[in-house]
Amino acid sequence: MKRSVLYAAAMMAVTGVMMWHNPMISHAEPVQEEAVQISEVLLVPSEEEVLAQSGPDAEIQKALAEAKAAEEAAAQAAEEAEAEQNARQSLVDYALQFVGGAYKAGGSDPHTGADCSGFVKYVMQYGAGISMNRSSTSQSTQGQAIDASQMQPGDLIFYGNGSRINHVAMYIGDGQIVHASTYKTGIKTSEWDYRDPVKIITMF
């Protein structure tokens, strides 16, 4: 009897301790969490700040982009034009080194003698890396035909009897050409219109 009473008392003591650590919550009284109120202050930016953050409107942005693209295109075109002028001058300088060389019918090397089309074929190939046909008639079908007003150093001028082409020369600027002329005169410079041109072409 005493053991039963002692056991019951011990159980009640343990249960009391547990309830003290974990008090029971009545479903009739729900727990209310402490509400945390956060107050936000909305700052309305000025018009200047909005423009500074968002930038110009779409039309202005488009205009700026187009202007930038046009500027870049113009710079690229200028670089290409300068490169072409340098290539033309380099070709002319290369051709002029052969002035005084011999004319040779059927010759293709101005170091040993060349005719007009052989001379042009050689200097175009080794002076500018441009491949040309062998005869003046077939060379006249290459490249792009231009007017005398468009002529630049390095362009080719063809001469003939009527419309039949029988001679070709290279324009070197300042109204001058270089060409393999005749057995008597060899490779020389002349006025570009010493004969009536039949056709002018550019290979650039």
Active-site pick, 21, 27, 111, 167: 167
Q: Is the pLDDT of residue 143 over 60?
A: yes
- Overall domain count for the chain: 1
In degrees to the nearest 10, what's the CA dihedral of 195, 96, 118, 170? -40
Q: Is residue 63 part of a domain?
A: no
Active-site pick, 21, 27, 111, 179: 179
Q: Is 27 a catalytic residue?
A: no
Q: Is residue 23 part of a domain?
A: no
Q: Is residue 168 part of a domain?
A: yes
pLDDT given for residue 52 in this prediction: 54
Helices (H) and strands (E) in the chain, counts: 5, 8
What's the pLDDT tens digit per position in 58-88? 788 888 888 888 888 888 888 888 999 999 9
pLDDT given for residue 175 in this prediction: 98
Q: Is 111 a catalytic residue?
A: no
Q: What CATH number is attached to the domain comprising 139?
A: 3.90.1720.10
